[in-house]
Amino acid sequence: KAGVTQTPRYLIKTRGQQVTLSCSPISGHRSVSWYQQTPGQGLQFLFEYFSETQRNKGNFPGRFSGRQFSNSRSEMNVSTLELGDSALYLCASSSPDSGGYNEQFFGPGTRLTVL
């Protein structure tokens, strides 16, 4: 079974630009969550999508948005990039059979650098 895939793996942008990251979950997984990881703040939850609906949201500004498609693939968008948005963005998927306890499987991440 293929794991969670994320594209692109690396990205360099400048301040003010916008970026779209993509995540394909494990086949059969319908929940996709996004996280931001930085050395200072650690792993922080961005949002979770389930069956194309945002089910939960973390404490990030509205510049961070996402969506999920009918095939469970998800995209995350960050508009008006700031230097502080430089981070590793991780996507994780979980199975409906996990009982809602979020046993999640992570993708390799997208390393975003904002110059």
Q: Rule CB under 8 A: is residue 107 a binding residue for other proteins?
A: yes
Residues sharing a CB contact under 8 Å with residue 15, sequence separation 6 or more, in sequence order: 81, 82, 83, 114, 115
23 is a site residue for other proteins (CB under 8 A): no
Task: Compute how many residues bind other proteins; rule: CB under 8 A.
Answer: 26
Q: How far is the CB of 12 from other proteins (least distance, A)?
A: 20
Q: Does 33 bind other proteins (CB under 8 A)?
A: yes
Q: How far is the CB of 99 from other proteins (least distance, A)?
A: 9
Site for other proteins in 60-99 (CB under 8 A): 90
Can residue 51 be called a binding residue for other proteins (CB under 8 A)? Answer: no
User: Is 100 among the residues that bind other proteins (CB under 8 A)?
Assistant: yes
